[in-house]
Amino acid sequence: MRYEHRSVWVGVAALAATVASVSAVADPDLDKQMADSSNWASQAGDYANHRYSELNQVNASNVGKLQVAWTLSTGVLRGHEGSPLVIGDTMYVHSPFPNNVFAVNLKDQTFRWKYEPKQDADVIPVMCCDTVNRGLAYGDGKVFLQQADTTLVALDAKSGKVVWTAKNGDPKIGETNTNAPHVFKDKVITGISGGEFGVRGRLIAYDLKSGKKLWTALSSGTDAEIMFDPAKTMTWTNGKMAPVGKDSSLKTWQGEQYKLGGGTTWGWYSYDPKLNLIYYGSGNPGTWNPAQRPGDNKWSMTIFARDLDSGQAKWVYQMTPHDEWDFDGINEVPLADVTVKGKKVPSLVHFDRNGFGYTLNRETGELLVAEKYDPVVNWATKVDMKTGRPLVDKRYSPGTTGPDVNVKDICPAALGSKDQQPASYDRKSGYFMVPTNHVCMTYEPFQVEYTAGQPYVGATLTMFPAPNSHGGMGNFIAWDAGTGKIVWSKPERFSVWSGALTTAGDLVFYGTLEGYVKAVSPKDGKELWKFKTPSGIIGNVFTYQFGGKQYVGVYSGIGGWAGIGMAAGLTESTAGLGAVGGYKDLARFTTLGGSLFVFSLPET
């Protein structure tokens, strides 16, 4: 199971850099920046979504002395997801709506430039679960911002001047953006949010240099719209991979419901440069009332593998056919070589909202492992490894009971055993470090009519801590993706809504909704250090080196779905799609905030 992954990925990056002159489409700038572990050049630190750093100046033996080095306010309250980027001596900081971007001189923390877009505040009510933004991307000397109003902006990294902009969608029909754009090779890839407004989820590729739209791949629709080749796009069928066949999406929807089909794309995407494949997940199908959309609702709740250049889908895997719980499949898809039954497989690992941790062969799409990563999961007894389908427990099936029936004690809640908060991969142990939720719900679907730009939810939810609680509403766990087993689990009072970072210093970092940033041992989860930041943490921990010194940083600013009550000032327990009541105790521990905290070891 143990696997020293570094050589592979560093090798790939180095290779990509050296062949840049041959492959005219590569971005040598980003490859170079990413290969230098002093930088934090992309949201996950690499293309594979490892969130792992080779830096080890801060390590298990000295982390107890870690202290605040410097801090910065973003000037914005509400939920702060994502993390800054670091390229050389500059840090690029972003904020939730209105999505300010600051270029910070690391020498003295002054601002080289500020980009403060003027966005129409009408976009705020159309953002289902807080006005979050998951951060910037870097490539080709440019910084990319995906604004809430769907405008994708390329800024000159040196001056902050706008190089190009592109419009991704239309907030008037509920289309917004919360995802980070991703730079892969010569393209900027972005998605769309709005699964609670009946929008059509899609992935969009833009040319890195010009901003020209290159391809758009929808999550549901005709084969052309979803960029499937019926004969070549494969999926797990009866224990093996087989072509999806003609109209694989259309056949699973009634009438034109697929046009309100959701399948939004607001997560973290991965890229395998060798296979030239990008990976991402799609969200819930349109309306949360399952009775209004019979069928599997493909390809909502699906992991896609697409060729980066053509956009064509190579394979797909649907985690939750005919969703009845809002178990979006958008969570990150880290790539690693995992040993399954004694055999090393080029894998993709995915901790789905539905509570199952999946391991797939990322080259072929074959299903290798699908096991619960929180024992409380009860909506399905297990995943049938032959069909790849979850075996649904009818007691927890709002689609079976029909509308206006209150289905109780479903675990996990709609925000899943894990939401967007990304796991990290420990290249040393080969285990995944996973921030999780431990929350259940009551779900009552109801009939809803579609009106463009209005919520199209059709369900009333209440959330509550899992009854067989392990001590809180969340756990931070280590996961063996080869066997599908929890290695260790550390309980937390609230859901761990912050992204993890593992380092070569034998440390894994994450934040808590109370506002603590913690360092624990990846070996056993033992807590080695913690610090209370001004507000709850839903950002992702990152690290960089500057002037020979390692720094670890994280945003502090409560919000996101779990913190929406506090962020939007809601008190009704079913508000925020049920999260307000579920997380009502947060107010005793934290308040709204918006700042960046950067830590380092004291001068010796």
Catalytic positions are 326
- The residue type of 403 is P
351: left (phi over 0), alpha (psi -120 to 50) or beta: beta
532 interacts with a second copy by CB under 8 A: yes
Q: Is residue 65 involved in binding a second copy (CB under 8 A)? A: yes
For a second copy, the binding residue among 3, 57, 59, 70 (CB under 8 A) is 70
CB of 331 to a second copy, least distance (A): 28
Q: How many residues bind a second copy (CB under 8 A)?
A: 34
Whose Cβ is closer to a second copy: residue 49's or residue 550's?
550
Closer CB to a second copy, 65 or 386, in the complex: 65
User: Which one of the spans 2-10, 197-205, 390-398, 595-603 is the region binding a second copy (CB under 8 A)?
Assistant: 595-603
Q: Is 596 a binder of a second copy (CB under 8 A)?
A: yes
Angstrom distances, CA of residue 329 to CA of 6, 317, 376, 418, 522: 28, 10, 19, 10, 26
Query: Checking phi first, is residue 402 left (phi over 0); if not, alpha (psi -120 to 50) or beta?
Result: left
485 binds a second copy per the rule CB under 8 A: no
Token pair belonging to 590:
């934290």
Stretch that binds a second copy, among 62-70, 179-187, 342-350, 401-409 (CB under 8 A): 62-70
Which positions from 550 to 579 touch a second copy by CB under 8 A, shown as an x/- string? ------xx----------------------
State which of positions 371-430 bind a second copy (CB under 8 A). none
Contact 348, 279 (CB under 8 A): yes
CB of 52 to a second copy, least distance (A): 27
Is 214:206 a contact under the CB 8 Å cutoff? yes
Structure-block tokens of residue 103: 């270029």
Least Å from the CB of residue 506 to a second copy: 22
Residues 274-333 that bind a second copy (CB under 8 A): none
Of 56, 62, 71, 573, which lies in the binding site for a second copy, with binding defined by CB under 8 A? 71
Q: Which stretch binds a second copy (CB under 8 A): 71-79, 220-228, 282-290, 539-547?
A: 71-79
Residue pair 456/450 in contact by the 8 Å Cβ criterion: yes
Q: Are 258 and 221 a contacting pair, CB within 8 Å?
A: yes
Q: Which of 18, 23, 61, 67 binds a second copy (CB under 8 A)?
A: 67
Query: What is the DSSP secondary structure assignment for residue 100, as one 8-state letter?
Result: -
Q: Are 165 and 181 in contact (CB under 8 A)?
A: no
> Which amino acid, 341?
K
Q: Smallest distance from the beta carbon of 60 to a second copy, in angstroms?
A: 18
In sequence order, which residues have a C-beta less than 8 Å from that of residue 587 and are 6 or more positions away? 565, 566
Does position 595 interact with a second copy (CB under 8 A)? The reply is yes
Nearer to a second copy, 258 or 599 (CB): 599
CB of 538 to a second copy, least distance (A): 13
Q: Report d(CA 130, CA 76) in Å as an integer.
A: 13
Question: Closer to a second copy at the Cβ: 270 or 495?
Answer: 495
Indicate if the alpha-carbon torsion angle 422, 320, 579, 395 is positive or negative.
negative
580 near a second copy (CB under 8 A): no
Angle, nearest 10°, between helix axes 6-18 and 28-35? 150
Structure tokens at 582: 């579920």
Task: Pick the closer one to a second copy by CB: 547 or 602.
Answer: 602
SS3 442: strand
Using rule CB under 8 A, residue 591 touches a second copy: yes
Q: How far is CA 182 from the centre of its chain?
A: 12
We find the least distance from the C-beta atom of residue 5 to a second copy, in angstroms, to be 35
Give least dist CB 595 to a second copy, A. 4
Q: Which strand ranges, in their side-by-side order, compose the sheet holding 202-207?
A: 182-184, 187-190, 202-207, 213-218
Q: Which is nearer to a second copy, 414 or 552 (CB)?
A: 552
Q: Which is nearer to a second copy, 115 or 356 (CB)?
A: 115
Contacts of 255 (CB under 8 A, 6+ apart): none
CA dist 406 and 160 (Å) reads 52
Give the residue, chosen from 38, 190, 417, 590, that forms a contact with a second copy under the rule CB under 8 A: 590
Q: Does 339 bind a second copy (CB under 8 A)?
A: no
Q: H or E stretch including 509?
A: strand 507-511
Least spacing, CB of residue 535 vs a second copy, in Å: 4
Coil vs helix vs strand at 261: coil
Q: How far is the CB of 40 from a second copy (least distance, A)?
A: 20
Residues forming beta bridges with residue 190, ordered by sequence position: 204
Q: Contact between 72 and a second copy (CB under 8 A)? A: yes
> Shortest distance, CB of residue 485 to a second copy, whole angstroms?
34
Token pair of 413 as six digits: 């809640």
Kindly write out the interface string for residues 88-127 of this chain, putting x where it contacts a second copy by CB under 8 A and - elsewhere.
--------------x------xxx--x-------------
- The size of the chain, in residues, is 604
Single residue of 38, 42, 43, 74 touching a second copy by CB under 8 A: 74
Max CA-CA distance within the chain?
69
Ramachandran assignment for 196, one of left (phi > 0), alpha (psi -120 to 50 degrees), beta (any other): alpha
Question: Distance between alpha carbon 234 and the CA centroid of its chain, in Å?
Answer: 24
Nearer CB in complex with a second copy: 235/550 = 550
77 binding a second copy? (CB under 8 A): yes
Tell me the window of 69-77, 171-179, 218-226, 275-283 that interacts with a second copy (CB under 8 A).
69-77
Q: Which is nearer to a second copy, 18 or 159 (CB)?
A: 159
HEC profile of 1-23 = CCCCCHHHHHHHHHHHHHCCCCC
The answer to whether residue 479 forms part of the interface with a second copy (CB under 8 A) is: no
Tokens of 528: 């080695």
In this chain, which stretch among 70-78, 139-147, 373-381, 479-487 interacts with a second copy, using CB under 8 A? 70-78
Q: Which residues bind a second copy (CB under 8 A)?
A: 65, 67-68, 70-77, 102, 109-111, 114, 531-535, 556-557, 587-596, 602
